[in-house]
Structure 1
Amino acid sequence: MKSGERSAVADRAQQIMSAARELLDAEGPDALSMRRIAERVGIRAPSLYKHFADKAALVAGLQAQGLTLLAEVQEAAEAEIGADPPLLVLGYAYRRHALASPHLYRITHGWPLARTALPEGLEDRAALPLARAVHGDINIARSFWAFAHGMVVLELDGRFPPGADLDVAWRTGCEAFTQAIRNRPHGSTA
């Protein structure tokens, strides 16, 4: 394949991913059919298979987008850490990320992760700011991620009572994890 042909194929794949993301953002995961994506791009559905083996490959591409966005958000938040505890800064950034693109968040963090289809190192990159904030303690990192994910899903699902002060709930949870880091035995990371 010549360079120009490779570029055209890459451009078309990008158009397909953009169309899939637009449908996802506008209508949710149920809108992600090969037919609907092809219509949005202006091609016939069978032509999609020249670029993506199946819908699962498209979802894997969207998950890669979601993890890339999370990594960028967490890295930017990490750079802004100052007087507030790092977990509070990272937790609030995680929440903003999820609320900004709830459908992308759900397929990235609520569906089985297509690990083998992700760019190498992406999952680690997305987790690294949290790993640094907990000084490498994998148990605290996993527990904090479960807390943050649970809070976000409950908020997205409208499960908190009207008037609940979620900022206070986030702060309370983040402070509890910060205290757990302070209380762990010196030098302990696992």
Structure 2
Amino acid sequence: MSPRRADPNVRPALIEVGARLLAEEGPTALSARRVAGEAGCSTMAVYTHFGGMSGLVREMVHVGFTRLKKCFLQVAETDDPVADMALLGRAYRRNGHENPHLYAVMFGASSLASFSLSESDRQHGRYTLAGVARCAERCIDAGRFADDDPMLVANQMWIAVHGAVALELGGYLVEPYDADQCFETQLSGLMVSAGDAREDAERSVRVSRERLDRELGDPLGVA
């Protein structure tokens, strides 16, 4: 008799359930029994796939950044690098909308008392900035951004967009200046602060908005 094959759906289900429980109920809700029960598998599956709860949380972090990188890779390089940069910002926001449960875990905002991000975990996240830095270099080479270190520009973009998305997911951006309005204004302001002319920046930001669904698909993977 051939050995029984492991269900390939168990591992991703454990990650999704664990991240959701952390985001919705906090670390006290995260136990091997609770996660396994909601994922429809045995408690042993947590240890088989991840070695324990800390391993499960670490995998949530890595999966979160892998999804972010995949979202970034959907942004095409065009002859308007500033529009490309703005679209990378929109991709970051879209990924946060689609994976809000993972978003908090990726940056250590929601985790277990026994788990802390390692330098390796953080470096895994930093790698996702490589494409943003390349885009910044193209903006500089095109004369749209001031002559600066592309990685520094990428970090500045990350800091600003991450802050906006975190506030939005937390429900802090409401009328009279809702999340959409704040984000659109911020994108243009970021490009201007990097050295672009305001009129050019606003035009490129508009172009990036028109490209959003075409390149990244409809929200939550619909269509």
Superposition RMSD in Å? 3.1
1:169 and 2:167 are equivalent in the alignment: no
Shift of 1:128: 1.6
Matches within 5 A, 1:148-167: 148-164=161-177, 165-167=181-183
Shift of 1:103: 1.4
The aligned length equals: 171
Give, as a single letter, the amino acid of the residue that structure 2 aligns with 1:169: T
Shift of 1:114: 4.3
Shift of 1:154: 0.9
Q: Is the 8 A contact 2:17 2:35 kept in 1?
A: no
Identity percentage of aligned residues? 26
Give, as a single letter, the amino acid of the residue that structure 1 aligns with 2:187: R
Shift of 1:105: 1.3
Match of 1:142 in 2: 155
1:133 and 2:167 are equivalent in the alignment: no
Q: Secondary structure at the match of 1:175?
A: helix
User: Matched residues in 2 for 1:168 and 1:117: separation?
Assistant: 31
Q: Secondary structure at the match of 1:50?
A: helix
Tell me: CA distance 1:134–1:38, structure 2 relative to 1, closer, same or farther (3 Å).
same
Q: Is the 8 A contact 1:74 1:93 kept in 2?
A: yes
User: Matched residues in 1 for 2:101 and 2:39: separation?
Assistant: 20
Stretches of structure 1 lacking an aligned partner (at least 5 in a row): 181-190
Give, as a single letter, the amino acid of the residue that structure 2 aligns with 1:174: L
1:179 and 2:195 are equivalent in the alignment: yes
Instruction: Indicate which of 28, 33, 39 corresponds to 1:35.
Output: 33
User: Matched residues in 2 for 1:51 and 1:161: separation?
Assistant: 41
Instruction: Indicate which of 89, 92, 117 corresponds to 1:91.
Output: 89
- 1:70-104 per-residue CA deviation (whole Å, 9 max, x = no partner) reads 11111111x15454533211111111111111111
Q: Is the 8 A contact 1:88 1:170 kept in 2?
A: no
- 1:23-66 per-residue CA deviation (whole Å, 9 max, x = no partner) reads 53477363432111221344442553233222121011111111
Tell me: CA distance 1:150–1:124, structure 2 relative to 1, closer, same or farther (3 Å).
closer
